Amino acid sequence: MTADLLTTVAAPGVRARRRPVTLVTCLVILGLALFAALFGHLLYPSATQVNVLQAQLPPGSPGHLLGTDQLGRDIVALSVAGTASTLIGPLVVAGGSMLLGTFFGLLAGFWQGKTDFLLSRLTDLLLALPVVLLGVVVAGIFGASYWWTTVLLIVVFAPYDIRIVRAGVIEQVTKPYVESARLLRLSPWRIMLRHLLVNLWPLERTNFLLNYANAIIAMSALSFLGVGVQQGTANWGRQLIDGEQILFSNPAASIAPAVLIIVVACAVNLLADALNADDRKAAGR
Amino acid sequence: MGGGHLPDGGLTEVTAPADVASPALAMPVRGRSTASAVARLIAWRVTGAVVLLAVISVLVFLLTYLSPGNIIKNITGIRPVSPHIVAELRAEYGLNQPLAVQYLHWLGRFVTGNFGRSIEDQTSVSQLFSERVGVTLLLCGMAFALAVVVSIPLGVLAAVRVGGLLDRLISVTSVIGLSAPAFAVGLILLYVFSYFLPIFPSSGSGQGLADTVYHLTLPAVTLAVGVGAYIVRLTRTAMTRELRSDYVTFARARGLGSQRIMWTALRNGIIPVITTMGLVLSFMVGSTILVETTFTLPGLGMLLQSSVEYKDFAVVQFLTLFFATIIVLVMLAVDLSYLVLSPEWRWQLRR
Amino acid sequence: MIVAERAERAEVRAESLTVTGPAGDIVRDLSFSIRLGQTLGIVGESGSGKSLTAKAVSGLLPAGLHATGTVAIAGTDVALPGSPQAWRKLRGAGVTLLLQDPFTSLSPVHRCGDQIAWTLQARIGRQAKGTRKEIRAKVIQHLDEVNLPAIVARRYPGELSGGMRQRAAIAAALAASPRLLIADEPTTALDASNQKDVLELLASLQREHGMAMVLISHDLGLVRGVTDEVLVMYAGLAVEQGPTAAVLSKPVHPYTAGLQASDPPMDRRLQRLIVIPGRVPEPGRRPAGCSFADRCSMASAACRRAEPRLEPAADGRAVACFNSRGPIALAAPAAVDERWQRGDDAPLLRAHHVVKSFAGQLALHGVSIEVHNGESVGIVGESGSGKTTLARCIAGLERPDSGEILYRGTTLTRERRTANQIQVVFQDPYSALNPKMRIGAAIAEALRTSRSERPRTVADLLDMVGLPAAFVRRYPSELSGGERQRVAIARSLAPDPELLICDESVSALDVSVQAQILNLLSDLRQELGLSLLFISHDLAVVRQISDAIYVIQAGRIVESGLTRDVLRAPRQGYTRRLITAVSQ
């Protein structure tokens, strides 16, 4: 198997041509998702209304392209209406943990010392308690609402961000340009904002996107386990748990939201990859 | 994926944070080091693990106190209880004593193997545990083996063909795997392989080993998707870096065979893969809750989930602590495996 | 017929070798031949394409680069880029490439002996593979050949010093018994005292094995005495090619002459170093006609119209130049009288018994130095000697464990430091500037820290370092290494510092650029009355810029005095070793 492996090299041009396609596809998917999240409730104002007479219609039924669930709710309408609660909470999670991560990561990386030590131990602690386990136990026991679950996830995600930003800062602070700024006696805040932050931007952006994808997955996982989203709310994770019970009479009830979660999370992950690749190309020049 | 959060760990080459995923040897042990340096490192790591577990146990203990509602209610569940029983319970649990004393009592019971009783099933927690642990262990074991056996070769292959069609195919597939929550994959597999092509059972864990393995195949595949995708990316990144390194160029320049070069690179590239196994396990524990729920498997994950629903505190506390202990121990083992994997320690010992 | 064939078999040839990258040709139409038992030196500055030539000739070009032309080694012809099968047959016993960096060229997790054994096994083949004992004996034999003890076979590369690692790598390369050994800057990553040994070792092994060798270097002086022929490359083209002695003693091409003249001498200080102005053009941006025309004092209109080809010239060499027909004798600049005396005034800076350790290991064992007003003081030592740590302690980038740093008689504490006291120019020009900040903004930011009543402008500073004012709008990535170092100097001068520390500030630069920066520094010193603390491993460079030097070894000052005296009559063996290593 390995006989010829080392000698094959890909043509460098192929990748460059393909990348915009990936990038554009991702952006289109995310654009549609954003539109559905913002205006979904206007398109289908009665998506969550129960209609027992039309329960469990199979896909392709008249007026219901993907059929209905056991409560007679149209799957298409429910999925569109569920976009907001599935995608906005995670956006807040990713944004919040990025802000916390940037702030504490800059401080820890720039001054190091004790803060640093404590933060590392905190990450160890959270590593030993997986997100879903922590979410199920804490949010489950306390009966946390949607927004409290969001806050919980910010707390759980932030230590990773702090560590990533901190590692990035530590990599930068030993570079001559930062040391020169120190020798010029510029204020630490100026060095952090004007010098470090701009150079950490690719790192932050990548990390934000990866966190966003992870948060979408984590939050729908919690919804799937009945945590964080109230019964009757339009939400993809919630749709999955409801739809699983009628998997064999209307598979679309659970497969549709499953595919939606995968597609959106994929788009976010691929966007991160594509932007990274562009960065690398720019750096190579 | 599904279990939640795997930090990127330098997967995207632009980030490459030094110590996010790898267990950076936090303590400085360079310098005039001899065998005592290794001993110090081990002692430091073990102490760290013990402290970590102590902190987790405090948090787990506090769960009963911080949760909304009456403590007695939390202990007894939703059944009506007479004042007499309440008093008895207060005495038994030492609820009139200071919190610290109560914690020590609780911990003492825990350490001596008295994990309490489940209010829901009215059986001892240890019995519930021993009934359920087999399924979860087998599930995780199968998934892990599957993920490693498939993913590492795929990651190596992608690295060898980096930029090529095969690499792109593997990379995109791994992104999909990484983006797919376990329950979503599970439902799709369930529909396809239990209904559309009824090859596998849709629920239950079966009788006897062969039947159990058969029942656990779909769940294990589901669990392996996320883990596998992560290992593929990790391996690809590590191997790409190794294959571009000087020692590979020099090996090729000396006319070494491709196979020899691949093994050399793999021996170097496998180190970061192994050191992230703690994360992989942490991820699997999260995912197993989802997978067991999806396939209604009577494992620990489902037990945890239902215990939370019924506020069955004894069980929740035990399982949380159990999972945390396992993860901490594996991370400790992975940290110490660095001693074996990196030759640096051997020569430090020799001096 | 048979004779002709044997002659051909005894030869290594490259014909019309061209390497093309995404931006255009990097190496163009290069041809050379070496007989077995002979050595060819390929010399050029960064961007000349010398390393890619080595990679192309061994079939190891990185992805994205394409080679054409022919390579013939010991009777096997390969039409480039060559099939993987063809190269697999040829690499090893045909051609082997030794890399520059001994720290990365061996696998860190495998023992040195195993890695040498792999080469043996690859050569002998699996069937004829000897017993473990035989292989081990051969490995030890190969180690012995490079003057390493047998115990090294059981060591990991990380346990060995740089010099030993490079020897182990040489042993691994020679285990393949190559007809042609290409050594790509084999001594550049090593300390001065190791460089000479490794170079001599390579030369003697080449004679013993009767193989052909290509020695690639940025340093014309290095190939002297080791190579039979030399090929000088500029911007991807051969500009002068011929017997080493002839080319080095009587260069005909203006570039060769300039390259040689800009190398600073160690035996005297020159008034001004000869420089080649400008910078090496990048692939794809090379001018029409002769690539060197823009930097050449002999250039005429013809040079910009057509590209000169290699034509035979004096002493059996070939030169690619329209205007230069005979040897160029560049007027040697006048040597300066270094009669200089340290004043009795209180020193500007006094480091007293500075001790610094890292993770329990002492880097500085109580070092004391003085710098007086307007003085230029050099600190010389090998890597790991503590010279940079000392500089960083003085600049306030590290806090010494004990000892004092007095500036104008008062102890410098973190609070008492101001920007107009001490500034530093670092080694690596590529990370010296914030990549996301325009040049103008970077200098303006530094200017705001100036306490001078009549602060300079950004344009003033750019002018002082010899850069056009238009550079304010550029980003660092648009600048060459030398230009970036000029900007770094401008920025460090913005707050009007009294003492400028140059921490290996010219060692990452090409020789011709290095001379430009050295001239600039001595001009600035005179204009501004700056005091300089010049940290370097290169005694010849220090001779040109420093009045007094301290020689530092393993964290201790072992010798100090006037530069001229120390270099003329060194008292310590260590200093002598450094001197002989440079002037090999």
The arithmetic mean of pLDDT across residues B307-328, rounded, is: 88
Which secondary-structure segment (H or E) carries B55? helix B35-66
In a domain, C390, yes or no: yes
Least confident of A89-98, B15-24, C96-105: B15-24
Question: Which residues of B fall within a CB distance of 8 Å from A207?
Answer: 8, 15
Give the separation between CA B29 and CA C33, rounded to whole angstroms: 52
Residue B250 pLDDT grade (very low, low, confident, very high; cuts 50, 70, 90): very high
Contact of A129 with chain B, judged by CB distance below 8 Å, is answered with yes
Residue B214: count other Cβ atoms within 10 Å of its Cβ. 14
Mean pLDDT computed over every residue of chain C:
88
Its sign, for the CA torsion C563, C567, C570, C573, is: positive
Q: Is B52–A124 a contact, with Cβ atoms under 8 angstroms apart? A: yes
Q: Is B84 part of a structural domain of the chain?
A: no
Of C91, C104, C107, the CB nearest to B253: C91
Judged by average pLDDT, the poorest of B132-136, C274-278, C397-401 is C274-278
As a whole number of angstroms, the distance between CA C198 and CA C185 comes to 11
Residue C170 placed within a domain: yes
Q: What is the pLDDT of residues C547-581, one digit of tens each?
A: 999 999 999 999 999 998 898 888 888 888 888 77
pLDDT at B71: 65
Q: Is C449 on the interface with A (CB under 8 A)?
A: yes
pLDDT at C329: 76
Domain presence at residue B7: no
Contact at 8 Å (CB) between A141 and B74? no
Residue C567 counted as domain residue: yes
Which pair of tokens denotes residue A67?
């059929």
Yes or no, beta carbons of C22 and A182 under 8 Å apart = no
Contact flag B19-A167 (C-beta cutoff 8 Å): yes
CB < 8 Å from B in window 328-387 of C: 359-361
Facing residue for A128 by CB, picked from B163, B290, B327: B327
C87 within a domain of the structure (yes/no)? no
pLDDT at B35: 65
Subunits close to C (at least 3 CB pairs below 8 A) = A, B
Query: In this model, does residue C6 exceed pLDDT 90?
Result: no
Residue A285 has pLDDT above 70, yes or no: no
From chain C residues 68-107, the ones with a CB under 8 A of any chain B CB are 88, 91-99, 101, 104-107
Q: Is the pLDDT at B78 greater than 70, yes or no? A: no
> Where is the domain boundary, C130, C156, C175?
C175
Q: Which residues of C touch B264 (CB under 8 A)?
A: 107, 110
pLDDT, position B349: 62
Q: Which residues of C, range 393-412, sit inside 8 Å of A by Cβ? A: 395-397
Q: Could you tell me the residue range of the domain that residue B201 belongs to?
A: 125-310
pLDDT at site B10: 37
User: Å from B137 to nearest chain A CA?
Assistant: 17
- Per the model's pLDDT, the better-predicted residue between B103 and C40 turns out to be C40
Evaluate whether residue C489 is within a structural domain. yes
Report the distance separating Cα A65 and Cα B207, nearest Å.
41
Spatial contact of C320 and C310, defined as CB atoms under 8 Å apart: yes
C548-553 and C556-562 strand pairing: antiparallel
Selection from C545, C490, C482 nearest residue C518 by Cα = C545
Positive or negative CA dihedral for C206, C210, C211, C213? positive
Asked whether residue B173 is assigned to any structural domain, the reply reads: yes
In a domain? residue C499 = yes
Q: How confident is residue B1, by pLDDT bands cut at 50, 70 and 90?
A: very low
Cβ B50 vs Cβ B92: under 8 Å: no
Mean pLDDT for A86-102 is: 94
Chain A residues in contact with C424 by the CB 8 A cut-off are: 179-180, 183
Question: Residue A182: is its pLDDT beyond 60?
Answer: yes
Q: What are C494-531's pLDDT values in tens digits?
A: 999 999 999 999 988 888 889 999 999 999 998 998 99
What is the separation, in whole angstroms, between the first and last Cα of chain B?
46
Structure-block tokens of residue B232:
């593929």
Lowest mean pLDDT of A46-55, C367-376, C436-445, name the range: A46-55
Please indicate whether, in this complex, the C-beta atoms of B342 and C91 are within 8 angstroms of each other: no
Our measurement of the distance from residue A282's CA atom to the centroid of its chain's CA atoms, rounded to an integer in Å, reads 26
Q: Find the DSSP H helices in C317-427.
A: 387-395
- Determine, for residues A133 and B286 on separate chains, whether the beta-carbon distance falls below 8 Å: yes
Cβ atoms of C252 and C328 within 8 Å: the answer is yes
Angstrom distances, CA of residue C566 to CA of B209, C98, C186, C545, C563: 83, 36, 29, 14, 5
Residue of B161, B249, B250 to mutate, testing the C interface (most C Cβ within 10 Å of its Cβ): B250
Q: B–C: how many Cβ contacts below 8 A?
A: 97
Assign C297 a pLDDT band (cuts: 50, 70, 90).
confident
Is residue C213 a part of any domain in this protein?
A: no
- Residue B8: the pLDDT is 45
Structure tokens at B260: 């020899």
- Mean pLDDT: which of B33-47, B117-131, C344-358 is highest? C344-358
Contacts of B52 in chain A (CB under 8 A): 121, 124-125, 128
How many Cβ contacts (< 8 angstroms) between chains A and B? 233
Give domain status of residue B80, yes or no.
Answer: no
Mention every residue, 6+ apart, whose C-beta is less than 8 A from residue B214: B200, B201, B206
Mean pLDDT across C197-212? 92
Q: Are B34 and B348 in contact (CB under 8 A)?
A: yes
CATH number of the domain that C514 lies in? 3.40.50.300
| pLDDT at C84 (0 to 100) | 86
Nearest chain C CA: its distance from A105 CA (Å): 20
Of the three residues C148, C175, C202, the one that is the final residue of a domain is: C175
Chain C residues touching A177 at Cβ < 8 A: 431-435
What contacts C485, CB < 8 A, 6 or more positions away? C425, C429, C432, C505, C506, C509, C513, C517
Whether B320 has a pLDDT exceeding 80, the answer reads: yes
What CATH number is associated with residue B295? 1.10.3720.10
C94 vs B contacts (CB less than 8 Å): 255
Residues C92-151 have pLDDT tens digits of 888 999 998 888 999 999 999 999 999 998 887 654 556 788 889 999 999 999 999 999
Angle, alpha carbons C428-C430-C432 (nearest 5°)? 70
| CB pair distance less than 8 Å for A141 and B308 | yes
| Nearest residue to B60 via CA among B112, B115, B6 | B115
What's the domain count of chain B?
1
The reply to whether residue C108 touches residue B268, judged by beta carbons under 8 angstroms, is yes
For residue C317, give the 3-state DSSP assignment.
strand
**Which residues of chain B have a CB within 8 Å of the CB of C58?**
253
Cβ atoms C370, C350 nearer than 8 A: yes
pLDDT tens digit sequence for C232-278:
999 999 999 999 999 988 899 999 999 888 888 888 888 888 888 88
Which of A133, A254, A269 shows the shortest C-beta gap to B320? Answer: A133
Domain assignment of residue C136, yes or no: yes
Instruction: Answer yes or no: do C64 and A12 touch at CB < 8 A.
Output: yes
Return the residue matching tokens 């190791």: C194
C175 touching B (Cβ < 8 Å): yes
Backbone angles phi, psi at C34, to 5 degrees: -135, 135
Paired strand residues for C42? C216, C231
- Provide the mean pLDDT of chain A: 83
Distance CA B165, CA B30 (A): 44
Q: Which domain holds residue C386?
A: 349-583
Query: What confidence tier does B24 reach under pLDDT thresholds 50, 70, 90?
Result: very low
User: CB distance C488–A175 less than 8 Å?
Assistant: no
- Which stretches of chain B sit within 8 Å of chain C by CB? 28, 30-32, 163, 244-247, 249-257, 260, 264, 267-268, 271, 341-344, 346-347
Other Cβ atoms less than 10 A from the Cβ of B268: the count is: 22
Task: Say whether residue A9 is in contact with chain C using an 8 A CB cutoff.
Answer: yes
The residues, ordered by sequence, that sit 6+ positions from C230 with a Cβ below 8 Å of its Cβ are C40, C41, C42, C43, C220, C223, C241, C242, C243, C244, C247, C248
DSSP A193: I
Which chain B residues are within 8 Å of C93, Cβ to Cβ? 255
> What confidence tens digit (pLDDT) does each residue in A192-220 have?
999 999 999 999 999 999 999 999 999 99
User: Quick one: what percent of chain C has pLDDT higher than 90?
Assistant: 53
Which pLDDT score, from 0 to 100, does residue C413 have? 81
d(CA B255, CA B257): 6
* Chain B residues touching residue C106 (CB < 8 angstroms): 247, 250
Distance from CA of A183 to the nearest CA of C (A): 6
Q: Is B122 exposed, middle or buried (0-12, 13-18, 19+ CB in 10 A)?
A: exposed
Domain count, chain C: 2
- pLDDT greater than 80 at residue A170: yes
Split at pLDDT 50, 70, 90, the class of B34 is low
- The strand order across the sheet containing C24-35 reads C24-35, C11-21, C66-73, C76-79
Report d(CA C110, CA B250) in Å as an integer. Answer: 14
Residue B301 lies in a domain: yes
Mutate to test the interface with A, among B6, B8, B66 (most CBs of A within 10 A): B8
- Which of A12, A183, A199 is the closest to C423 by Cβ? A183
**Domains within chain A, CATH numbers bracketed:** 52-284 (1.10.3720.10)
What mean pLDDT do residues A82-107 have?
A: 93
A191 contact C CB<8A: no
For C121, name the nearest residue in chain B, comparing CA atoms only: B256
The answer to whether residue B235 is domain-embedded is: yes
Per CB-CB distance under 8 Å, the chain C contacts of A184 are 419, 423, 445-446, 449, 491, 494-495
A183 touches chain B (CB under 8 A): no
Please state, rounded to an integer, the average pLDDT across all residues of chain B. 81
Residue B46 lies inside a defined structural domain of this protein: no
Which of C118, C143, C175 finishes a domain? C175
Look at residue B18 and tell me whether its pLDDT is greater than 50: no
Please answer yes or no on whether C107 and B257 come within 8 Å at the CB atom: no
B114-131 pLDDT per residue, tens: 877 777 777 888 888 998
Q: How far apart are CA B351 and CA C6, in angstroms?
A: 53
Q: Which of A67-76, B180-189, C467-476, C537-546 has the lowest mean pLDDT?
A: A67-76
Residue A91 has a pLDDT of: 95
Count how many pairs of residues, chain A against chain C, have C-beta atoms within 8 Å.
69
Asked if residue B169 has pLDDT above 90, the reply is yes
A57 pLDDT higher than 80: no
- Per-residue pLDDT of C14-33, as tens digits, reads 999 999 988 888 999 999 99
- Chain C CB contacts of B272 below 8 Å: none
Q: CA of C553: how far to CAs of B254, C274, C427, C556, in Å?
A: 37, 32, 20, 5
Rounded CA separation B340/C143 (Å): 27
